[in-house]
Protein backbone atom coordinates (compact mmCIF):
# COMPACT_ATOMS: atom_id res chain seq x y z
CA UNK A 1 0.00 0.00 0.00
CA UNK A 2 1.08 3.56 -0.62
CA UNK A 3 -0.06 6.27 1.75
CA UNK A 4 -0.09 9.63 0.01
CA UNK A 5 0.27 12.55 2.40
CA UNK A 6 -1.45 15.89 1.94
CA UNK A 7 0.56 18.81 0.64
CA UNK A 8 1.86 20.70 3.66
CA UNK A 9 1.47 17.80 6.10
CA UNK A 10 3.60 18.18 9.21
CA UNK A 11 6.53 16.14 10.43
CA UNK A 12 4.31 14.93 13.28
CA UNK A 13 1.74 13.70 10.74
CA UNK A 14 4.45 11.71 9.00
CA UNK A 15 5.76 10.29 12.28
CA UNK A 16 2.23 9.27 13.33
CA UNK A 17 1.62 7.38 10.08
CA UNK A 18 5.04 5.71 10.26
CA UNK A 19 4.32 4.52 13.83
CA UNK A 20 0.87 3.26 12.83
CA UNK A 21 2.51 1.18 10.08
CA UNK A 22 5.24 -0.13 12.37
CA UNK A 23 2.74 -0.96 15.12
CA UNK A 24 1.23 -3.45 12.67
CA UNK A 25 4.65 -5.11 12.35
CA UNK A 26 5.09 -3.66 8.83
CA UNK A 27 7.77 -1.46 7.26
CA UNK A 28 7.26 2.18 6.36
CA UNK A 29 9.39 3.67 3.58
CA UNK A 30 9.21 7.45 3.33
CA UNK A 31 9.22 8.43 -0.36
CA UNK A 32 9.73 12.17 -0.81
CA UNK A 33 8.23 13.35 -4.10
CA UNK A 34 8.24 16.50 -6.19
CA UNK A 35 4.87 17.71 -5.00
CA UNK A 36 3.94 15.34 -2.23
CA UNK A 37 5.41 12.88 0.23
CA UNK A 38 4.25 9.28 0.26
CA UNK A 39 4.88 6.39 2.61
CA UNK A 40 5.27 2.95 1.09
CA UNK A 41 4.12 0.07 3.25
CA UNK A 42 5.68 -3.37 2.78
CA UNK A 43 5.61 -6.65 4.63
CA UNK A 44 1.85 -7.17 4.76
CA UNK A 45 0.91 -10.74 3.75
CA UNK A 46 -2.56 -9.67 2.59
CA UNK A 47 -4.50 -6.52 1.70
CA UNK A 48 -4.62 -3.67 4.23
CA UNK A 49 -7.66 -1.55 5.06
CA UNK A 50 -7.12 1.95 3.57
CA UNK A 51 -9.53 3.43 6.16
CA UNK A 52 -7.12 2.66 8.98
CA UNK A 53 -4.67 5.18 7.47
CA UNK A 54 -6.99 7.63 5.74
CA UNK A 55 -8.39 8.43 9.15
CA UNK A 56 -5.05 9.83 10.35
CA UNK A 57 -4.33 13.58 10.13
CA UNK A 58 -2.26 14.68 7.12
CA UNK A 59 -3.17 11.63 5.00
CA UNK A 60 -4.69 12.32 1.56
CA UNK A 61 -5.21 8.74 0.36
CA UNK A 62 -4.16 5.18 1.03
CA UNK A 63 -3.89 3.19 -2.20
CA UNK A 64 -3.36 -0.57 -2.39
CA UNK A 65 -0.50 -1.60 -4.72
CA UNK A 66 -1.56 -4.46 -6.96
CA UNK A 67 1.88 -5.41 -8.32
CA UNK A 68 4.01 -7.98 -6.47
CA UNK A 69 6.90 -5.52 -6.57
CA UNK A 70 5.86 -2.61 -4.38
CA UNK A 71 8.53 0.07 -3.99
CA UNK A 72 9.56 -0.44 -7.64
CA UNK A 73 6.01 0.06 -8.92
CA UNK A 74 4.58 3.10 -10.65
CA UNK A 75 1.61 2.80 -8.34
CA UNK A 76 3.92 3.53 -5.44
CA UNK A 77 5.77 6.33 -7.24
CA UNK A 78 4.21 7.84 -10.37
CA UNK A 79 7.27 10.05 -11.01
CA UNK A 80 10.37 8.79 -12.83
CA UNK A 81 13.23 8.10 -10.46
CA UNK A 82 16.30 10.14 -11.32
CA UNK A 83 19.61 8.70 -10.11
CA UNK A 84 22.51 11.13 -9.63
CA UNK A 85 25.97 10.00 -10.67
CA UNK A 86 28.53 12.70 -9.94
CA UNK A 87 27.23 15.87 -11.54
CA UNK A 88 25.06 13.95 -13.98
CA UNK A 89 21.59 12.46 -13.80
CA UNK A 90 20.30 9.15 -15.11
CA UNK A 91 16.59 8.95 -15.86
CA UNK A 92 15.92 12.64 -16.46
CA UNK A 93 15.21 12.06 -20.15
CA UNK A 94 18.74 12.92 -21.28
CA UNK A 95 21.13 10.60 -23.12
CA UNK A 96 23.60 8.78 -20.87
CA UNK A 97 26.19 6.49 -22.41
CA UNK A 98 28.20 4.01 -20.37
CA UNK A 99 31.12 2.62 -22.34
CA UNK A 100 34.28 0.65 -21.82
CA UNK A 101 35.73 -2.81 -22.08
CA UNK A 102 34.26 -5.95 -20.59
CA UNK A 103 37.19 -6.30 -18.19
CA UNK A 104 40.06 -4.19 -16.91
CA UNK A 105 43.07 -6.05 -18.27
CA UNK A 106 46.06 -3.82 -17.60
CA UNK A 107 46.98 -0.17 -16.94
CA UNK A 108 47.47 0.81 -20.60
CA UNK A 109 44.31 -0.87 -21.85
CA UNK A 110 41.97 0.84 -19.39
CA UNK A 111 43.68 4.25 -19.53
CA UNK A 112 43.75 4.24 -23.32
CA UNK A 113 40.11 3.22 -23.47
CA UNK A 114 39.06 5.77 -20.85
CA UNK A 115 40.73 8.63 -22.75
CA UNK A 116 39.17 7.50 -26.03
CA UNK A 117 35.75 7.21 -24.36
CA UNK A 118 36.11 10.64 -22.82
CA UNK A 119 36.90 12.26 -26.15
CA UNK A 120 34.12 10.30 -27.87
CA UNK A 121 31.67 11.82 -25.38
CA UNK A 122 30.83 8.91 -23.07
CA UNK A 123 29.22 9.79 -19.75
CA UNK A 124 30.68 6.97 -17.67
CA UNK A 125 33.42 4.36 -17.94
CA UNK A 126 32.70 0.69 -17.34
CA UNK A 127 35.00 -2.28 -16.90
CA UNK A 128 34.98 -5.34 -14.67
CA UNK A 129 37.63 -5.96 -12.05
CA UNK A 130 35.77 -9.02 -10.78
CA UNK A 131 34.40 -11.06 -13.67
CA UNK A 132 31.70 -13.73 -13.51
CA UNK A 133 32.87 -15.98 -16.35
CA UNK A 134 31.02 -18.96 -17.78
CA UNK A 135 34.21 -21.01 -17.63
CA UNK A 136 36.40 -21.28 -14.52
CA UNK A 137 39.40 -21.37 -16.87
CA UNK A 138 38.67 -17.96 -18.41
CA UNK A 139 40.23 -14.70 -17.19
CA UNK A 140 38.54 -13.88 -13.87
CA UNK A 141 39.53 -10.21 -13.61
CA UNK A 142 42.33 -8.33 -11.84
CA UNK A 143 40.38 -7.90 -8.60
CA UNK A 144 41.50 -5.00 -6.40
CA UNK A 145 44.26 -4.06 -8.83
CA UNK A 146 41.58 -3.57 -11.49
CA UNK A 147 39.65 -1.25 -9.17
CA UNK A 148 42.77 0.83 -8.56
CA UNK A 149 43.33 1.12 -12.32
CA UNK A 150 39.72 2.22 -12.77
CA UNK A 151 40.16 4.89 -10.10
CA UNK A 152 43.22 6.18 -11.99
CA UNK A 153 41.23 6.30 -15.21
CA UNK A 154 38.52 8.28 -13.40
CA UNK A 155 41.15 10.67 -12.11
CA UNK A 156 42.52 11.19 -15.62
CA UNK A 157 39.17 11.66 -17.34
CA UNK A 158 36.63 12.70 -14.71
CA UNK A 159 34.39 9.88 -15.94
CA UNK A 160 32.46 8.09 -13.18
CA UNK A 161 33.14 4.37 -12.89
CA UNK A 162 30.65 1.51 -13.28
CA UNK A 163 32.03 -1.84 -12.17
CA UNK A 164 30.62 -5.17 -11.09
CA UNK A 165 30.45 -6.82 -7.70
CA UNK A 166 30.15 -10.59 -7.94
CA UNK A 167 29.77 -11.58 -4.31
CA UNK A 168 29.11 -10.33 -0.81
CA UNK A 169 32.74 -10.73 0.22
CA UNK A 170 33.98 -8.14 -2.29
CA UNK A 171 30.91 -5.89 -2.50
CA UNK A 172 32.23 -3.42 0.09
CA UNK A 173 35.58 -3.15 -1.68
CA UNK A 174 33.92 -2.58 -5.06
CA UNK A 175 31.63 0.06 -3.55
CA UNK A 176 34.65 1.95 -2.17
CA UNK A 177 35.95 2.46 -5.71
CA UNK A 178 32.83 2.48 -7.88
CA UNK A 179 30.50 5.36 -8.58
CA UNK A 180 27.90 2.80 -9.65
CA UNK A 181 27.99 -0.82 -8.50
CA UNK A 182 26.90 -3.25 -11.17
CA UNK A 183 25.13 -6.49 -10.31
CA UNK A 184 25.35 -8.73 -13.34
CA UNK A 185 22.87 -10.97 -15.09
CA UNK A 186 24.20 -14.10 -13.39
CA UNK A 187 23.72 -12.55 -9.97
CA UNK A 188 20.33 -10.97 -10.58
CA UNK A 189 18.77 -13.59 -8.36
CA UNK A 190 21.53 -13.68 -5.75
CA UNK A 191 19.16 -12.35 -3.13
CA UNK A 192 21.68 -12.09 -0.32
CA UNK A 193 23.93 -9.98 -2.57
CA UNK A 194 20.94 -7.81 -3.53
CA UNK A 195 20.08 -7.27 0.13
CA UNK A 196 23.64 -6.17 0.85
CA UNK A 197 23.56 -3.84 -2.15
CA UNK A 198 20.42 -2.39 -0.63
CA UNK A 199 22.53 -1.18 2.30
CA UNK A 200 24.95 0.74 0.08
CA UNK A 201 24.87 4.49 -0.33
CA UNK A 202 25.87 4.04 -3.99
CA UNK A 203 23.68 3.58 -7.08
CA UNK A 204 23.22 -0.01 -8.23
CA UNK A 205 23.03 -0.97 -11.90
CA UNK A 206 21.04 -4.21 -11.95
CA UNK A 207 21.26 -6.26 -15.12
CA UNK A 208 18.42 -8.54 -16.13
CA UNK A 209 19.07 -12.25 -15.78
CA UNK A 210 19.13 -14.01 -19.16
CA UNK A 211 16.04 -16.01 -18.33
CA UNK A 212 14.30 -13.58 -16.01
CA UNK A 213 10.79 -12.37 -16.70
CA UNK A 214 10.06 -8.70 -16.17
CA UNK A 215 8.44 -9.60 -12.87
CA UNK A 216 11.52 -11.56 -11.73
CA UNK A 217 13.65 -8.57 -12.74
CA UNK A 218 11.58 -5.99 -10.87
CA UNK A 219 11.33 -8.22 -7.80
CA UNK A 220 15.14 -8.37 -7.83
CA UNK A 221 15.21 -4.55 -7.91
CA UNK A 222 12.70 -4.61 -5.05
CA UNK A 223 15.24 -6.47 -2.88
CA UNK A 224 17.63 -3.54 -3.19
CA UNK A 225 14.93 -0.91 -2.67
CA UNK A 226 13.45 -2.72 0.32
CA UNK A 227 16.76 -2.47 2.19
CA UNK A 228 16.71 1.29 1.81
CA UNK A 229 18.75 2.01 -1.32
CA UNK A 230 16.49 3.93 -3.72
CA UNK A 231 19.22 4.43 -6.36
CA UNK A 232 18.51 1.47 -8.60
CA UNK A 233 19.10 1.54 -12.36
CA UNK A 234 17.82 -1.33 -14.50
CA UNK A 235 19.61 -2.75 -17.54
CA UNK A 236 18.23 -5.02 -20.27
CA UNK A 237 21.16 -7.05 -21.61
CA UNK A 238 19.59 -9.73 -23.78
CA UNK A 239 17.76 -12.92 -22.93
CA UNK A 240 18.02 -16.55 -24.01
CA UNK A 241 15.68 -17.46 -26.81
CA UNK A 242 15.67 -20.11 -29.54
CA UNK A 243 17.48 -17.64 -31.86
CA UNK A 244 21.17 -18.18 -32.18
CA UNK A 245 22.17 -15.72 -34.88
CA UNK A 246 23.47 -13.52 -32.06
CA UNK A 247 24.67 -14.36 -28.56
CA UNK A 248 21.37 -13.42 -26.88
CA UNK A 249 18.16 -11.68 -28.01
CA UNK A 250 17.92 -8.03 -27.02
CA UNK A 251 14.44 -7.73 -25.57
CA UNK A 252 13.86 -4.09 -26.45
CA UNK A 253 10.16 -4.52 -25.85
CA UNK A 254 10.83 -4.84 -22.14
CA UNK A 255 11.79 -1.15 -21.99
CA UNK A 256 8.38 0.47 -22.59
CA UNK A 257 6.68 -2.19 -20.49
CA UNK A 258 9.08 -1.76 -17.60
CA UNK A 259 8.53 1.98 -17.79
CA UNK A 260 4.77 1.54 -17.63
CA UNK A 261 4.85 -0.46 -14.42
CA UNK A 262 8.07 0.78 -12.80
CA UNK A 263 9.56 4.22 -12.13
CA UNK A 264 13.24 3.20 -12.23
CA UNK A 265 15.48 4.25 -15.13
CA UNK A 266 16.39 1.53 -17.61
CA UNK A 267 19.47 1.13 -19.80
CA UNK A 268 19.99 -1.14 -22.78
CA UNK A 269 23.25 -3.07 -23.23
CA UNK A 270 23.45 -4.00 -26.91
CA UNK A 271 26.98 -5.37 -26.54
CA UNK A 272 26.26 -8.33 -24.29
CA UNK A 273 22.89 -8.76 -25.96
CA UNK A 274 24.34 -9.36 -29.40
CA UNK A 275 27.90 -10.47 -28.73
CA UNK A 276 28.99 -9.14 -32.15
CA UNK A 277 30.24 -5.61 -32.80
CA UNK A 278 28.58 -5.53 -36.22
CA UNK A 279 25.22 -5.72 -34.50
CA UNK A 280 25.99 -3.28 -31.69
CA UNK A 281 25.53 0.16 -33.31
CA UNK A 282 22.10 -0.81 -34.57
CA UNK A 283 21.19 -1.85 -31.06
CA UNK A 284 22.64 1.46 -29.84
CA UNK A 285 25.18 1.50 -27.01
CA UNK A 286 28.71 0.19 -27.01
CA UNK A 287 31.49 -1.61 -25.21
CA UNK A 288 34.95 -0.41 -26.11
CA UNK A 289 38.45 -1.87 -26.21
CA UNK A 290 41.52 -0.28 -27.83
CA UNK A 291 42.40 -3.56 -29.58
CA UNK A 292 39.34 -5.77 -29.37
CA UNK A 293 40.88 -8.68 -31.21
CA UNK A 294 43.28 -9.18 -28.30
CA UNK A 295 40.74 -8.63 -25.53
CA UNK A 296 40.77 -11.17 -22.71
CA UNK A 297 36.96 -11.27 -22.62
CA UNK A 298 34.10 -10.29 -24.90
CA UNK A 299 36.43 -8.78 -27.51
CA UNK A 300 34.18 -9.95 -30.30
CA UNK A 301 31.48 -7.46 -29.27
CA UNK A 302 33.76 -4.50 -28.51
CA UNK A 303 33.68 -1.58 -30.92
CA UNK A 304 36.92 0.08 -32.02
CA UNK A 305 37.33 3.64 -30.64
CA UNK A 306 36.57 5.28 -33.99
CA UNK A 307 33.44 3.19 -34.37
CA UNK A 308 32.43 4.29 -30.88
CA UNK A 309 32.92 7.98 -31.59
CA UNK A 310 30.73 7.67 -34.70
CA UNK A 311 28.06 5.79 -32.77
CA UNK A 312 27.96 8.38 -29.97
CA UNK A 313 27.54 11.17 -32.50
CA UNK A 314 24.60 9.27 -34.02
CA UNK A 315 23.07 8.67 -30.58
CA UNK A 316 23.32 12.36 -29.72
CA UNK A 317 21.63 13.26 -32.99
CA UNK A 318 18.84 10.75 -32.36
CA UNK A 319 18.41 11.98 -28.78
CA UNK A 320 18.09 15.57 -30.02
CA UNK A 321 15.39 14.57 -32.51
CA UNK A 322 13.49 12.54 -29.92
CA UNK A 323 13.68 15.45 -27.47
CA UNK A 324 12.36 17.83 -30.15
CA UNK A 325 9.50 15.44 -30.89
CA UNK A 326 8.73 15.20 -27.18
CA UNK A 327 8.66 19.03 -27.03
CA UNK A 328 6.33 19.13 -30.02
CA UNK A 329 3.71 16.83 -28.47
CA UNK A 330 3.74 18.66 -25.17
C1 LIG B 1 29.34 -7.28 -18.14
O2 LIG B 1 28.67 -6.22 -18.10
O3 LIG B 1 30.55 -7.32 -18.45
C4 LIG B 1 28.64 -8.55 -17.89
C5 LIG B 1 29.27 -9.61 -17.41
O6 LIG B 1 27.34 -8.47 -18.23
P7 LIG B 1 26.14 -9.49 -17.96
O8 LIG B 1 26.04 -9.64 -16.47
O9 LIG B 1 24.97 -8.79 -18.56
O10 LIG B 1 26.49 -10.78 -18.67
MN1 LIG C 1 31.34 -8.63 -20.73
Tens digit of pLDDT for each residue in 159-187? Answer: 999 999 999 999 999 999 999 999 999 99
**Secondary structure, 3-state, the chain:** CEEEECCCCCHHHHHHHHHHHHHCCCEEEEEECCCCEEEEEECCCCCCCCHHHHCCCCEEEEECCCCCCCCCECCCCCCCCCEEECCEEECCCCCCCEECCCECCCHHHHHHHHHHHHHHCCCEEECECCCCCCCCCCCCCCCHHHHHHHHHHHHHHCCCEEEECCCHHHHHHHHHHCCEEEECHHHCCCHHHHHHHCCCCCCEEEECCCCCCHHHHHHHHHHHHHCCCCCEEEEECCECCCCCCCCCECCCCHHHHHHHHECCCEEECHHHHHCCHHHHHHHCCCCECCCHHHCCCCHHHCECHHHHHHHHHHHHHHHHHHHHHHHHHC
Residue 35 has pLDDT above 90, yes or no: no
* Cα 12 to ligand 2 centroid, rounded to whole Å: 49
* Cα 68 to ligand 1 centroid, rounded to whole Å: 26
Q: What is the pLDDT of residue 165?
A: 98
Q: Is residue 222 part of a domain?
A: yes
Q: What is the pLDDT of residue 86?
A: 87
**Secondary structure, 3-state, 245-302:** CCCCECCCCHHHHHHHHECCCEEECHHHHHCCHHHHHHHCCCCECCCHHHCCCCHHHC
* Cα 298 to ligand 2 centroid, rounded to whole Å: 5
Q: For residue 139, what are the domain limits?
A: 83-329
Q: What is the pLDDT of residues 78-101, one digit of tens each?
A: 899 999 998 899 998 888 989 999
How confident is the model over 264-280, as a mean pLDDT? 90
The preferred substitution site among 272, 296, 297 for testing ligand 1, maximizing ligand atoms within 8 Å of CB, is 272
Q: What is the pLDDT of residue 324?
A: 59
Residue 148 and residue 247 in one domain = yes
Residue 59 and residue 87 in one domain = no
Identify the band that residue 314 occupies on the pLDDT scale cut at 50, 70 and 90.
confident
Q: Which atom of ligand 1 is nearest to the CA of 298?
A: 3
**Where is pLDDT greater, at 57 or 280?**
57
How confident is the model over 316-324, as a mean pLDDT? 74
Q: Is residue 167 part of a domain?
A: yes
Q: Is residue 203 part of a domain?
A: yes
Residue 192 and residue 308 in one domain = yes
Q: Which atom of ligand 1 is nearest to the CA of 187?
A: 8
Q: Is residue 207 part of a domain?
A: yes
Q: Give the highest mean pLDDT range of 29-33, 145-149, 311-315.
A: 145-149
Residue 47 and residue 151 in one domain = no
Report CA-CA distances (Å) from 85 to 19, 163, 199, 202, 293: 33, 13, 17, 9, 32
* Cα 201 to ligand 1 centroid, rounded to whole Å: 22
Q: What is the CATH number of the domain that holds 41?
A: 3.30.70.1140
Share of the chain above pLDDT 90, in %: 70
Residue 204 and residue 110 in one domain = yes
Q: What is the CATH number of the domain that holds 136?
A: 3.20.20.70
Identify the band that residue 286 occupies on the pLDDT scale cut at 50, 70 and 90.
very low
Q: What is the pLDDT of residue 194?
A: 97
Q: Is residue 69 part of a domain?
A: no
Q: Which atom of ligand 1 is nearest to the CA of 131?
A: 5
Return d(Cα 27, Cα 195) in angstroms, integer: 15
Q: What is the pLDDT of residue 280?
A: 80
Residue with CA closest to ligand 1 atom 6: 184
Residue 311 and residue 228 in one domain = yes
Q: What is the pLDDT of residue 288?
A: 52
Residue 120 and residue 232 in one domain = yes
Residue 31 and residue 153 in one domain = no
How confident is the model over 126-144, as a mean pLDDT? 95
Decide: 142 and 105 in contact? Cβ < 8 Å.
yes
Gyration radius of the chain over CA positions? 21
pTM (2 d.p.):
0.88
Identify the band that residue 321 occupies on the pLDDT scale cut at 50, 70 and 90.
confident
Residue 167 and residue 101 in one domain = yes
Query: How many domains is the chain built from?
Result: 2
Amino acid sequence: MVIVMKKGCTREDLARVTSAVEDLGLRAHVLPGVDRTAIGVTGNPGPLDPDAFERLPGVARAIPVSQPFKLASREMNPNDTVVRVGKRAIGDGGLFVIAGPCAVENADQIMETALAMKSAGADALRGGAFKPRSSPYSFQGLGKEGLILLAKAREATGLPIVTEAVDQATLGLVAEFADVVQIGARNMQNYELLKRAGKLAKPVLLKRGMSATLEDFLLAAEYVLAEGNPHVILCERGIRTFSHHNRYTLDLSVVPTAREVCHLPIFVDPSHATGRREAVPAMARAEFHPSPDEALSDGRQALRPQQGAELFAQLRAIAAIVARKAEAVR
